[in-house]
Amino acid sequence: MAEPLRLDDHYRVRAFTEVALSPDGRRAAFGLRVQRRREDDQQTNLWVVPADGSEPAHQLTRGAGDPRAAAFSPDGRLLAFLAKRPDEPEVAASLAMDRTGSSRAIAGSTEAAEREPQVQVWVLDLTRGGEARQVTAREEGVAAFDWAPDGGRLVVAARAPTDAQRAYLKALRDKKQPGPYVLRRTQHKHDTRGFLDEVATHLFVVDLESRAERQLTDGPCDEGEPRWSPDGHWIAFTSNRTGDPDNNRRTDLWLAAADGAGFRRLTFGDVGARAPRWSPDGRRVAFVSSLEPESMYRLALLMTVAAEDGEALASLPVGEGFASIGGIVGDVVEGDPVAHAHVYPVPLRRSRVAVLTEGLDRPVVGAPVWTEGGALLAPVGDRGQTVLVRCEPDGGCERVHPAAEDRLCTLGPLDAAAGTVVAVVDRPQTGPDLWRVGGGRLTDANPWLRERRLAPARWVEAGAAEALVLGEGSPTAPLLVAIHGGPQAYDSPGLRFDRQYWAGQGYVVVMVNYRGSISYGEAFCRAIQGDWGPREHSDVMAAVDAVLARGWADPGRLFCTGFSQGGIMTNWAVGHTDRFRAAVSEHGMWDYRAAFGTDDFHLWWQDDLGVPWQNEAGYLRISPASGVAAVRTPLLLTAGEHDWRCPLDQAELLYMTLKKRGVPCELVVYQGEHHAISRPARALDRLRRIADWLARYGGPALAAADAVETGGGAS
């Protein structure tokens, strides 16, 4: 009989990161991420496979720079991608000036030779073969790019520091004596990115052959997500040009003439546009936005706007088109402190957009794709699954894949071209693979899974919510609630290594899509706005009771864990029930009053609760800390040393509180890590510590093979 997953299997898992179809729909490029044991890192490489499944997948890149954002040239001959690699010797030797032609030396200078590798655009010739060729040499790297229809140019979004900003960055990066951070922005930090500077990201047109650049945009605002129009005349992009982007989420959709002759404004300050995509005829631009940009609870919708409706501009404005920009919270509170703190921009006009998915009452969770016939395909969250939906631009949407009755799979990255649609399809017992929609499987990414016994999955209704349950279950089985993060997320039926590992240990694993999750409609999501805790906890406990009522688990062996928002809800749970023998709170939070300004989500707090100095009681009321006197459950805490989403000091506050109260507690701090664990050895250490902690209080003992140290610290 096949064995269940073991910790060491983590190094064998391959995950898909992206997929891109060639313009003729005949080839699919995709990214495949692996875990490397010796290097203790994750590495992504690009592969290509015929979309008809006639040949096995072929690996294109091998080990250098984590390539991503792959895109075929319009003729399908070239594949461009972003990668962080050392500059080509040819580039370093030949470029004595920056791309604007100024006298300041960049590449070829001593400074350039000593700089760290940056993310640049590289291009593979799929017809003639050979190594990838470096196209850009931006000093701060490239964030995004798109092909021109003629295939001879690219538009790139890249940071463009001024001379003063360049000097500041150089001082910060001095390895012998780094200079201090000087912070002026409201959004002064971001998880994984660290303390934020004021360097703006602008658009540049790059000649593929000569590498010559021409700057399209400038000023104090960031431009991103550039997309070239089919006729080559315009470049669509997103930019928050309110003049105070850290205090709102009003990202608009703009057009820049590819020849630099002018601009158009397509939306007018009432959206938070992202993922723009041109229609094949160039008449419309599709994008994703909610109807209330600052609210995390309004569902993301698929919208379109006509390119001809754009306002012609000679230059890009900053702060224009608004009755007020807002941003500053007044000291004198009149009435509700939450409403008082909603100081957002007031636009003078509404955008003329068509909203295509509002009637679905489901969120769009990825970028849309236009079909040859002028319809739109979009990934949508629906009752715990990501599914493919087709929408007509003049109205009407329908589910395409999977079938409504197939609830034990979820979709990952997808693309469409020339009548072909490919998507990553993920199932709990087989893992992810690339499929041609309406056709067959194109890859066999994880054949080793057939050597393992994976737990079956099933959906269970639980009061107002729904839960995905892993494991056969029995009256004596231990139960482990694994609470998802977000809360604007959802647990879906794909391969989750940690969940399957716990199920292999003997747990019945319960994953609850509690109120606040986004794939069950906007009212379901908005139910927790400004009132985190009681509803989510009620849904979690209803799911536990539903599983127990079916005789699938032992009511005396209940355990709880969760990461991020799941860690927050674990902290809430131990203060509101004593039913769990032990719990593990990973990278969560405890007292929200101390989070404002130390995490990177001040706008979220402000929209839900106002500002803490005007609503201290409200912040404490929904904090897990409000239940401190009732906490008796043994609790393991984990945190990232540099986590700025759920800061380390939140775990420290809870740790010290429990220590002073005599509650069994341990705190594990992963050095150098941010919100997510990045190194495989630490990911395994995390799983081992969780299993060991729960085993101390009645959970299954670790298998001998899993108890062997594989790195990341002693158990």
Nearest to 587 by CA among 596, 597, 595: 595
**Region class of 707: left (phi > 0), else alpha (psi between -120 and 50), else beta:** alpha
Asked if residue 643 lies in contact with residue 587, where contact means CB atoms within 8 angstroms, the answer is: yes
Token code pair at residue 192: 């994984």
What is the mean pLDDT of the segment spanning 664-693? 95
CATH superfamily of 453-705: Alpha/Beta hydrolase fold, catalytic domain (3.40.50.1820)
Q: What is the pLDDT of residues 258-305, one digit of tens each?
A: 999 999 999 999 999 999 999 999 999 999 999 999 999 999 999 999
Asked if residue 412 lies in contact with residue 403, where contact means CB atoms within 8 angstroms, the answer is: no
What is the mean pLDDT of the segment spanning 629-657? 97
Q: Within 13 A of 518's CA, how many CA atoms are on the CB side?
A: 19
**Region class of 642: left (phi > 0), else alpha (psi between -120 and 50), else beta:** alpha
Confidence at residue 493, expressed as pLDDT on a 0 to 100 scale: 97
What is the mean pLDDT of the segment spanning 609-630? 98
Confidence at residue 111, expressed as pLDDT on a 0 to 100 scale: 55
Q: What is the pLDDT of residues 472-489, one digit of tens each?
A: 999 999 999 999 999 999
Nearest to 699 by CA among 467, 503, 515: 503
Confidence at residue 95, expressed as pLDDT on a 0 to 100 scale: 57
Fold match, 64-160+201-215 / 453-705: no
Confidence at residue 102, expressed as pLDDT on a 0 to 100 scale: 44
Q: For residue 146, what is the DSSP state?
A: E
Q: Is the pLDDT of residue 103 over 50?
A: no
Token code pair at residue 243: 């003049």
pLDDT band at residue 64 under the 50/70/90 scheme: confident
Q: For residue 178, what is the DSSP state?
A: P
Confidence at residue 707, expressed as pLDDT on a 0 to 100 scale: 75
Domain ranges for the chain:
13-61+421-449, 64-160+201-215, 453-705
Confidence at residue 711, expressed as pLDDT on a 0 to 100 scale: 40
258: Cβ–Cβ under 8 A, 6 or more apart, which residues?
148, 155, 205, 216, 228, 229, 232, 233, 234, 235
Q: Between 95 and 52, where is the model more confident?
A: 52
Confidence at residue 196, expressed as pLDDT on a 0 to 100 scale: 97
Token code pair at residue 385: 């699954």
* CATH ID of 64-160+201-215, from 2.120.10.30, 2.30.30.40, 2.40.160.50, 3.30.200.20: 2.120.10.30
Q: Is the pLDDT of residue 110 over 50?
A: no
What does each C-alpha distance from 222 to 4, 138, 192, 203, 452 come to in angstroms? 48, 16, 19, 9, 48
Q: What is the pLDDT of residues 115-125, one digit of tens each?
A: 789 999 999 99
Q: Is the pLDDT of residue 113 over 90?
A: no
Alpha helix positions (H), 110-208:
110-114, 163-172
**Region class of 129: left (phi > 0), else alpha (psi between -120 and 50), else beta:** left
Q: What is the mean pLDDT of the chain?
A: 94
- Of 122-126, 369-373, 704-708, the least confident: 704-708
Report the distance separating Cα 596 and Cα 602, nearest Å. 6
Q: Is the pLDDT of residue 705 over 80?
A: no
Q: What is the pLDDT of residues 353-365, one digit of tens each?
A: 999 999 999 999 9
Token code pair at residue 144: 């995004």
